[in-house]
Each structure stands twice: as structure tokens, then as C-alpha cells.
């Protein structure tokens, strides 16, 4: 916490639903000097997505929808070029719908707002795995349309109340006992951070506690919420139109319905991180061990949040550790040469449309300076190749900065060998505190 300037944190480890270790650290409110408590209520941000997925699965069990329905069957105001996208593709982040033109604080997802969101470059259904908050906002709207109940009411009636999750609800502006204050780092100063708007809906607008999230995990382990068929669907990773496993940048096992899924050191896992300007969270389940690890903080932008569960698990499970992303010889150096050319163009502020994919060219128009700084180590010639993954006609290629750096990037290359996507992340072994 000292190293990463975290104001407060609650950590919970549970086996078979029973608490093995639950501890609160630091402050829930720095200005009032209020200590963090086990009962503290946090924004869980994108951990919300698994509840959205569960709601869709429950409605499929109720025969009120089918995951293979086109989204336009339930939301007739969808833009024409998105009308054939299916609910399953939205859940797997393979729909092609992206967040490039999205305003998460839009008061409603009407035809005008969605029309603006659709004005960006549409990669196409099943062409790539691409994380989309808009997809899950739309899924929240589908839940409301198919059930005839407001999205958060449906979650409360079908999941929260039956499971006794009394502290889990929408992140509204009302008074919430034990709600933490959220913070962010601006330069070298900790400041109050803006909360995630409730308009984020099915993408990230829930608040909860460490024990409520354990109740949810235990219910999934015990089959209390979903049928066995629905639970299996939740844990089945999505695939691209090519048949290739749709690969998220930081998870080798794929993405199921609202959860990252896979195995590490022989242990099956499902997990999801969540974060905003004022919160960072991680919920990790070890399926065969029936172990749940919850890490909740009131600090936005905590770089370790994707690996918080693995870091804790490395202290508890013999032989377990976070992924190492070890470098290996690069069988195709031309890819790194193309990336290095792009970094040089970013530094010069002039990006050629001939050397990057259409979507990336549009995205970089407003972010060239940021990416030039983020990838300066690539331009310095120190990038190390980790892995290349076939994604239809594309490749997803991973590079890391030599230790003691803290950079890991995933670069998509199109069929011509040009970069067409960029994602940056954190390589856990690069952090001195966890070596």
C-alpha cells in the first residue's frame, strides 16, 4: 500500500464460502480520518459485468431471450450496422462494437447517442476480441427490455436479495452507509476522484462489499443461482468467426460470459478486475479449490489490479505464481520493426495511414503523444518478444520491457503485418515488491 499510495484496502480470502482471512487496511475517508472496515462499501466497476451476464443467463432459462438473438430483437433502436450483432457476441467482447465514440455519462442509450457511438470504425463481428463497456451497457438495457423490470431491480430481485447481498446495489447518489471515498493520484498528489456514473449500468455501476462478493462466488460454486448449463456457458470462452479462441490481451484462457477464464499452474480460474478514477478491484475464483479472493481499494489506476488475486494466491497455494511472461526468441522480427516505425511516427506526431490499420489510425489521432511516451522503451530497442497468438487473419503479439521495467504490451497485427491495435498492461514479475 505504501509503494502504490493506496489510501485503503480490504482483502478477503474464502474457502468453501468460509472466511480464511479478511482484513481492512488504511482509510476509507482521508479527510475525516475514517478507518477502513470489513463492512466498507466500494465501487466494483467492471466486476459488475458478471452480474449482467448472469442476468442474461437467467432470462434465457426463463425463455425470455436467447443468447444468440440479435441485439436489435430487444433494442429496435440499434444502429443498422450493429443490428445483427448477437447477445452472445456482446457478452464475449467479440461483437466489433467498441468504445471509441462512447460517452459513459450519457443520460440514456437512445438512438441519437448510439448513432454517435456507431460513427467510429466498426471492425466487424467475430474479427477480434475487443473489450467494450458499451456492449455491457447495451446488455443491461436488454435485461430491462426482456424482463420488463429496470436492470438494477432485476438484479436485486433475482440475485442480491435471494443471496443475502444486502450491501450490493447501484452506485447512485443516495446515502449509502459505510460507502468509501475514492481517490486518484494527480502528479504526486492524492486527490478526490470522481465516482463511476450509474449510467455505466451493466458495464460497471455496482457497489458492494468483500463479504457480499464472497456470497456471490459461493452461490456460483454451489449452483444456487444458475443452472449447470448456464454455469458451463459462463465458463466457456468465446471464439472468433475463424474458430480461433478470442484472446484477451492479458489472459491466455479466454473470456467467458462476464469473466476471464483459464488455468494457471494447473488451477482453473475465473476472474475479473474493475477500475475507475476512484477505485480498483479484483475478484478471483479458483474453481477446483473453491477459493475466492477479493481485493477492493478506494484508489483509481492501481496498476497491480489485474493481478491482485494471483499475487495473494501465490502466498497461499504451493507452487502458484502470477504469469511470468518470459521472453523467447522472436521468430518474425519484421513485426517489431513495424512497431518501432510506428513509435517513431508517434514521436514525430505524423502517423501514416499506410503503416497502421484503419481503426488504430483513427484511435491514435488523439493519443499519439501518450503512446509515444508509453512506448519509448520500444523505440530504444529493448522490447522482448513473449508470444504470438493467431486471431483469424490477424496476430496478437506480446512484448515486454526488460526488468526492472513495468511494461507489457499486446500489439495486434493485420494480415499485411501492420499494427492495428495497441493495449498496454503490467508485467507482474517486473514489480520489485513481488520478485
Residue owning grid cell 447517442: 113
| pLDDT score of 432 | 41
Q: What is the pLDDT of residue 217?
A: 98
Please compute the mean of the pLDDT values over residues 328-341 and round it to a whole number.
94
Task: List pLDDT tens digits, range 288-305.
Answer: 999 999 999 999 988 778
Q: Answer yes or no: is pLDDT of 79 > 70.
A: yes
Q: Per residue in 371-386, pLDDT tens?
A: 888 888 888 788 999 9
Which pLDDT belongs to residue 426? Answer: 64
pLDDT band at 405 (very low <50, low <70, confident <90, very high): low
Residue range 207-225: average pLDDT? Answer: 98
Task: Give the pLDDT score at 430.
Answer: 45
With cut-offs at 50, 70 and 90, classify the pLDDT of residue 358. confident
Provide the pLDDT for residue 427: 58
What average pLDDT does the structure give for the chain? Answer: 91
Give the pLDDT band of residue 435 (cuts 50, 70, 90).
Answer: very low
For residue 324, what are the contacts with CB-CB under 8 A and spacing of at least 6?
Answer: 428, 429
* Alpha carbon distances (Å) from 73 to 28, 82, 87, 117, 279: 44, 12, 10, 19, 35
> Which burial class, exposed, middle or buried, applies to 151 when counting CB atoms under 10 A from its CB (0-12, 13-18, 19+)?
buried
- β-pairing, 279-286 vs 291-297, is antiparallel
- Residue 225, preceding bond cis, omega within 30 degrees? no
List pLDDT tens digits, range 167-182.
Answer: 999 999 899 999 999 9
Cell representation of residue 397: 503479439
Q: Scanning the structure block, which residue is given the C-alpha cell 474479427?
A: 127
- Read off the pLDDT of residues 226-236 as tens digits, 9 standing for 90 and up: 999 999 999 99
Q: Residue 393: CA atoms inside 13 Å, Cβ hemisphere, count? A: 10
pLDDT in tens, 52-62: 999 999 999 99
Q: 363: pLDDT confidence band, cut at 50, 70 and 90?
A: confident
User: Which pLDDT belongs to residue 13?
Assistant: 98
CB-based contact 427:400 (threshold 8 Å): yes
User: What pLDDT was estimated at residue 331?
Assistant: 94
pLDDT at 428: 55
Residues 108-163: tens digit of each pLDDT:
788 888 888 888 778 889 999 999 999 999 999 999 999 999 999 999 999 999 99
Amino acid at each position: 500500500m505504501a509503494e502504490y499510495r493506496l489510501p485503503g484496502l480490504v482483502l478477503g480470502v474464502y474457502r468453501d464460502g468460509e472466511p480464511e482471512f479478511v482484513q481492512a487496511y488504511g482509510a476509507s475517508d482521508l479527510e475525516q480520518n475514517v478507518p477502513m472496515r470489513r463492512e466498507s462499501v466500494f465501487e466494483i466497476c467492471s466486476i459488475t459485468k458478471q452480474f449482467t451476464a448472469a442476468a442474461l443467463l437467467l432470462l434465457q432459462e426463463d425463455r425470455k431471450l436467447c443468447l444468440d438473438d440479435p441485439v436489435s430483437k430487444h433494442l429496435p433502436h440499434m444502429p443498422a450496422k450493429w443490428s445483427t450483432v448477437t447477445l452472445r457476441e456482446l457478452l464475449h467482447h467479440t461483437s466489433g462494437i467498441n468504445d471509441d465514440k462512447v460517452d459513459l455519462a450519457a443520460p440514456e442509450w437512445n438512438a441519437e447517442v448510439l448513432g454517435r457511438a456507431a460513427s467510429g470504425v466498426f471492425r466487424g463481428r467475430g474479427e477480434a476480441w475487443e473489450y467494450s463497456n458499451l456492449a455491457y451497457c447495451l446488455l443491461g438495457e436488454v435485461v430491462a427490455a426482456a424482463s420488463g423490470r429496470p436492470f438494477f431491480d432485476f438484479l436485486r430481485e433475482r440475485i442480491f436479495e435471494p443471496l443475502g447481498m444486502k450491501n450490493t446495489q447501484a452506485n447512485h447518489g443516495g446515502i449509502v452507509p459505510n460507502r468509501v471515498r475514492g481517490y486518484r493520484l494527480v502528479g504526486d498528489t492524492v486527490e478526490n476522484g470522481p465516482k463511476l456514473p450509474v449510467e455505466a449500468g451493466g458495464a460497471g455501476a455496482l457497489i458492494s462489499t468483500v463479504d457480499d462478493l464472497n456470497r456471490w462466488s459461493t452461490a456460483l460454486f454451489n449452483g444456487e443461482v444458475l443452472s449447470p448449463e448456464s454455469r458451463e456457458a459462463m465458463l466457456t470462452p468465446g471464439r472468433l468467426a475463424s474458430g480461433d479462441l478470442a484472446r484477451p490481451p492479458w489472459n491466455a484462457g479466454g473470456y467467458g460470459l462476464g469473466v476471464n477464464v483459464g488455468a494457471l499452474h494447473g488451477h482453473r480460474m475465473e476472474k475479473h478486475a474493475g477500475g475507475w478514477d476512484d477505485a480498483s478491484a479484483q475478484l478471483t475464483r479458483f474453481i477446483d479449490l473453491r477459493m475466492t479472493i477479493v481485493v477492493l481499494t478506494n484508489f483509481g489506476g492501481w496498476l497491480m489490479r489485474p493481478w491482485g488475486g494471483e499475487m495473494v494466491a501465490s502466498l497461499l497455494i504451493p507452487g502458484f505464481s502470477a504469469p511470468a511472461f518470459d521472453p523467447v526468441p522472436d521468430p518474425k522480427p519484421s513485426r517489431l520493426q513495424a512497431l518501432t516505425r510506428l513509435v517513431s511516427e508517434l514521436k514525430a506526431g505524423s502517423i501514416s495511414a499506410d503503416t497502421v490499420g484503419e481503426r488504430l489510425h483513427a484511435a491514435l489521432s488523439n493519443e499519439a503523444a501518450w503512446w509515444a511516451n508509453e512506448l519509448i522503451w520500444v523505440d530504444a530497442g529493448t522490447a522482448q518478444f513473449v508470444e504470438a497468438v493467431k486471431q483469424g487473419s490477424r496476430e496478437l503479439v506480446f512484448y515486454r520491457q526488460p526488468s526492472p521495467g513495468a511494461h507489457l504490451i499486446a500489439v495486434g497485427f493485420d494480415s499485411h503485418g501492420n499494427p492495428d491495435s495497441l493495449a498496454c498492461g503490467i508485467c507482474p514479475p517486473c514489480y520489485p515488491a513481488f520478485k
